């Protein structure tokens, strides 16, 4: 699909714009501006009121003033480093223009004595005398129209000035072609949004503060365009994935019934609903691409296992993949009793399987004798073949992006994919990162899960905490002790963990273990295994344990310098306890005094166990990029849209994009063609490639 010709001028070099040389073009790069079209979306963030006044008397200093003056006497500095002053008079009052490090000949040309000039800048009072230091504008009276009554202020980077950016943006606006409308007409009418060209013009020339607000119709329209382009890309990816010929996988429910009978409690409503949604998807001849989103301890494993059994009931195979060996082993151990209840063979395949053992497993897989497999990414290797793989469940602790999801689909001809995540993602972010998927949410805690008591403790009560721990260990309980994150440096983290380990060992004896990021994987596994087996009672750790370990006997979680962790991380760490029958405690140790953010973070964790509420709060406090670590999250960078405040707009964009794909899958109709131009404007190359290929 080639780029529409009408967009060519917007794709030219930046240096084709007036006033932009090689140096300025380089400076623009820091703002993410590489072509004229990028300038269209570099919107002003504030503005300066430059309404003409008659006199300094009309404003209360300090203030911005635009006024016509008659130029009087020039007073050059007597000693080096002193300012150069020019006396001027407006309609009612005399005041001074002040310049530092200025050349006299330049100022005499700019402000000739006896002539009239229009000056605009900030007026301040010094010893009762009004002064304007370095006016922003000095113009001849006939050039007055060059200053807008309300002047937009653009973001800058080193080497750029307001005047240069404003001039370049204005020039880019002159290149805006007339494009057909891509927004659904009834939606545009209902929201009273302007046309695209008009929206750009309004956004770049606000007439007051209201024009800068994200709620202004022009800005809403441009934000919607961004979100819509992004969601359209995901919708195209989704329709390509679903188009992949699927196999209808329908089970008779016999194996699932056996598992449910073996459980001591009934599944929650949310679990039953999720299984129903998954079964309906698997029963269609389209490929399933579903996200199972559930908080720590919401019972995702049971749902995933029932989904795997549907594949087996239908005569096929299922695989569950985890990012690490420890997690794969844990899933395997967690699923083993369920598999026994169903009477289905379950095997584990990791990088450790070698030789004859591995060869036998591979043969059994290829012959269909192993219906259910749990594994690490070793499952991706070329020599691993299934007889009839129907469902892949991916445990998404490792951020499985759209690209990997597509690669996985290539393993079986038409594998259904279910991605599990334990990170509750606020709806707007879920739409941004997983908009190509359908979502099932587990929002109830299974019966029998005891609430976790969470308390805040100041660090100077360390001895008390250790005493409490000594008693608990004597009673046979186990505890985690998480050390603080120090300056993002693994080495320092490791030193602080070592030190805490020695301290606790001295206090509690040799049943204290240590695990941190610097250890070789085998040692880490061994330390974890000793804790799982109950040989160590207290595990001192850096945040490596955030990822999914399951020790039902662990009932205490101590987090040192809890204020240095993010909300989602604290919630994940706390979720490591409270997995057994005993009541559990989480102690948030903080260094006082807490700042406002730290206090808000810790009280949020203390007062709620609802991961979704915590995630919404986290988003409000930290912003989207931070929340999921933009670098590796695949989170799109929006220029106008604001994910925190415009989640409703994102949801609307998703519905609209999916509807357009349904009505016009090839984007060949009038609105589809218009949307293609939008995809080009928004650099949605992936979508463009998919359409071209598709």
Q: What is the pLDDT of residues 334-370, one digit of tens each?
A: 899 999 999 999 999 987 888 888 899 999 999 999 9
Q: Is the dihedral angle over the CA atoms 389, 394, 398, 403 positive or is it negative?
A: positive
Token output for 309: 């059994």
Report the candidate in 538, 549, 560 with the shortest Cα–Cα distance to residue 478.
Answer: 538
Q: Is the peptide bond before 593 cis (omega within 30 degrees of 0)?
A: yes
| Contact between residue 168 and residue 111 where contact means Cβ atoms under 8 Å apart | no
Report the candidate in 441, 438, 437 with the shortest Cα–Cα distance to residue 424.
Answer: 441
Residue 170 has pLDDT above 90, yes or no: yes
Residue 652 has pLDDT above 70, yes or no: yes
Q: Are strands 116-126 and 129-133 parallel, antiparallel or unpaired?
A: antiparallel
Q: How far apart are CA 120 and CA 138, in angstroms?
A: 7
* pLDDT band, residue 672 (cuts 50/70/90): very high
Token output for 291: 């996200």
Q: Full-prediction pTM beyond 0.75? A: no
Q: What is the pLDDT of residues 67-98, one digit of tens each?
A: 999 999 999 988 888 899 999 999 999 999 99
| Contact between residue 351 and residue 325 where contact means Cβ atoms under 8 Å apart | yes
Q: How far apart are CA 483 and CA 512, in angstroms?
A: 14
Is 249 or 693 the better-scoring residue by pLDDT?
Answer: 249
Q: What angle do CA 210, 618, 643 make, to 5 degrees?
A: 40
Report the candidate in 500, 501, 503 with the shortest Cα–Cα distance to residue 561.
Answer: 500
Report the candidate in 559, 564, 548, 556 with the shortest Cα–Cα distance to residue 497.
Answer: 559
Q: What angle do CA 572, 573, 579 make, to 5 degrees?
A: 90
Residue 219 has pLDDT above 50, yes or no: yes
Q: What angle do CA 649, 653, 656 make, to 5 degrees?
A: 135
Q: How far is CA 465 from CA 46, 479, 500, 504, 505, in A?
A: 51, 12, 13, 11, 14
Q: How far is CA 96 from CA 53, 134, 140, 451, in A?
A: 17, 11, 18, 70
Token output for 538: 């207290």
Q: How far apart are CA 328 and CA 346, in angstroms?
A: 12
Task: Say how many residues make up the chain.
Answer: 694
3-state SS, residue 482: strand
Q: Is the dihedral angle over the CA atoms 655, 660, 663, 665 positive or is it negative?
A: negative
| Contact between residue 34 and residue 14 where contact means Cβ atoms under 8 Å apart | yes
Q: What domains can be seen in the chain, in order of their start residue?
A: 5-47+156-213 (no CATH), 51-147 (2.40.50.140), 254-442 (3.40.50.300), 452-608 (3.40.50.300)
Concatenate the DSSP letters of all residues of 47-60 into one string. Answer: EEE--EES-GGGS-
- Helices 325-342 and 300-313: angle between axes, nearest 10 degrees: 60
Mean pLDDT lowest among 92-101, 517-526, 596-605: 517-526
Residue 164 has pLDDT above 70, yes or no: yes
Is 592 or 134 the better-scoring residue by pLDDT?
Answer: 134
* pLDDT band, residue 293 (cuts 50/70/90): confident
Q: How far apart are CA 376 and CA 395, in angstroms?
A: 10
Q: What angle do CA 610, 613, 619 make, to 5 degrees?
A: 140
Report the candidate in 347, 342, 373, 366 with the shortest Cα–Cα distance to residue 251.
Answer: 342
- If you average pLDDT over every residue of the chain, what do you get? 84
Q: What are all long-range contacts of 489-494, with beta carbons under 8 Å and residues at least 24 apart?
A: 490/517, 490/518, 491/518, 493/517, 493/542, 494/518, 494/542
3-state SS, residue 376: coil
Among residues of the chain, what percentage have pLDDT more than 90? 38
Q: How far apart are CA 637 and CA 25, in angstroms?
A: 21
Biggest CA–CA distance in the chain, Å, is 102
Q: How far apart are CA 303 and CA 278, in angstroms?
A: 9
Q: Which helix (H) or strand (E) segment is 318 a member of?
A: strand 317-321
Concatenate the DSSP letters of all residues of 277-308 into one string. Answer: HHHHHHTSSB--EEEEEE-TTS-HHHHHHHHH
Q: Are strands 63-75 and 84-89 parallel, antiparallel or unpaired?
A: antiparallel
Token output for 339: 């598999």
**10 Å Cβ neighbour count for 91?**
14
Q: What is the pLDDT of residues 3-30, one digit of tens each?
A: 888 888 999 999 999 989 999 999 998 8
3-state SS, residue 491: helix
Q: What is the pLDDT of residues 230-283, one digit of tens each?
A: 888 888 877 776 666 677 889 999 999 999 999 888 888 999 999 999 999 999
Q: How far is CA 65 from CA 48, 59, 115, 204, in A?
A: 10, 7, 19, 22
């Amino acid at each position: 699909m080639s780029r529409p010709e009408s967009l060519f001028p917007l794709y030219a070099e930046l240096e084709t714009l007036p006033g932009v040389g090689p140096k300025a073009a380089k400076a623009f790069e820091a703002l993410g501006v590489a072509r004229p079209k990028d300038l269209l979306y570099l919107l002003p963030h504030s503005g300066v009121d430059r309404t003409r006044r008659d006199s300094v008397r009309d404003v209360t200093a300090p203030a911005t003033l635009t006024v016509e003056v008659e130029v009087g006497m020039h007073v050059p500095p007597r000693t080096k480093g002193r300012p150069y002053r020019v006396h001027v008079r407006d309609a009612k009052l005399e005041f001074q223009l002040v310049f530092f490090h200025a050349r006299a000949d330049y100022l005499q040309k700019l402000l000739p004595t006896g002539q009239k000039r229009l000056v605009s800048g900030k007026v301040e009072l010094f010893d009762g005398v009004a002064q304007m230091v370095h006016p922003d504008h000095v113009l001849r009276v006939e050039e007055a129209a060059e200053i807008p009554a309300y002047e937009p202020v653009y973001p800058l980077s080193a080497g750029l000035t307001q005047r240069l950016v404003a001039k370049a943006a204005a020039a880019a606006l002159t290149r805006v072609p007339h494009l057909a409308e891509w927004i659904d007409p009834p939606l545009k009418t209902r929201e009273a949004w302007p046309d695209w060209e008009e929206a750009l013009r309004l956004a770049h020339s606000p007439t007051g503060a209201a024009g800068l607000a994200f709620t202004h119709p022009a800005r809403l329209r441009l934000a919607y365009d961004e979100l819509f382009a992004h969601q359209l890309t995901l919708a195209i990816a989704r329709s390509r994935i679903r188009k992949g010929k699927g196999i209808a996988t329908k089970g008779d429910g016999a194996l699932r019934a056996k598992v449910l009978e073996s459980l001591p409690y009934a599944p929650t409503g949310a679990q039953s609903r999720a299984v129903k949604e998954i079964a309906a998807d698997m029963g269609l001849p389209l490929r399933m691409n579903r996200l199972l989103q559930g908080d720590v301890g919401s019972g995702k494993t049971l749902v995933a296992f029932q989904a795997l059994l549907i594949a087996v009931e239908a005569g096929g195979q299922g695989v569950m993949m985890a990012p690490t060996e420890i997690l794969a082993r844990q899933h395997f151990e967690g699923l083993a009793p369920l598999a026994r209840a169903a009477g289905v063979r379950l095997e584990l395949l990791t990088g450790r399987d070698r030789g004859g053992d591995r060869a036998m497993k591979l043969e059994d897989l290829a012959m269909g004798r192993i219906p259910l497999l749990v594994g690490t990414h070793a499952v991706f290797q070329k020599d691993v073949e299934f007889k009839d793989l129907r469902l892949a469940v991916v445990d998404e602790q490792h951020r499985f992006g759209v690209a990997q999801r597509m690669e996985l689909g290539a393993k079986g001809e038409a594998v259904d994919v279910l991605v599990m995540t334990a990170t509750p993602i606020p709806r707007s972010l879920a739409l941004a990162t997983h908009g190509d998927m359908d979502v099932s949410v587990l929002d109830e805690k299974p019966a029998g899960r005891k609430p976790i008591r969470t308390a805040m403790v100041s660090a100077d009560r360390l001895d008390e905490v250790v005493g409490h721990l000594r008693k608990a260990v004597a009673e046979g309980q186990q505890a985690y002790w998480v050390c603080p994150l120090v300056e993002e440096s693994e080495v320092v983290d490791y030193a602080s963990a070592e030190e805490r380990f020695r301290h606790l060992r001295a206090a509690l004896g040799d049943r204290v273990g240590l695990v941190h990021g610097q250890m070789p994987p085998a040692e880490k596994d061994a330390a974890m295994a000793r804790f799982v087996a109950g040989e160590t009672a207290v595990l001192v750790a850096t945040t490596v344990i955030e990822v999914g370990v399951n020790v039902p006997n662990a009932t205490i979680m101590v987090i040192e310098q809890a204020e240095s962790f993010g909300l989602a991380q604290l919630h994940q760490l706390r979720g490591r306890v409270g997995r057994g029958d005993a009541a559990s405690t989480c102690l948030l140790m903080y260094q006082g005094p807490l700042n406002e953010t730290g206090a808000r973070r810790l009280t949020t964790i203390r007062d709620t166990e609802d991961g979704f509420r915590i995630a919404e709060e986290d988003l409000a406090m930290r912003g989207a990029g931070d929340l999921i670590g933009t670098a590796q999250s695949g989170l799109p960078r929006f220029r106008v849209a604001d994910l925190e405040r415009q989640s409703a707009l994102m949801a609307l964009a998703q519905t609209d994009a999916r509807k357009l794909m349904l009505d016009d899958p090839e984007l060949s109709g009038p609105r589809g063609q218009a949307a293609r131009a939008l995809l080009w404007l928004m650099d949605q190359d992936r979508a463009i490639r998919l359409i071209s290929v598709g």
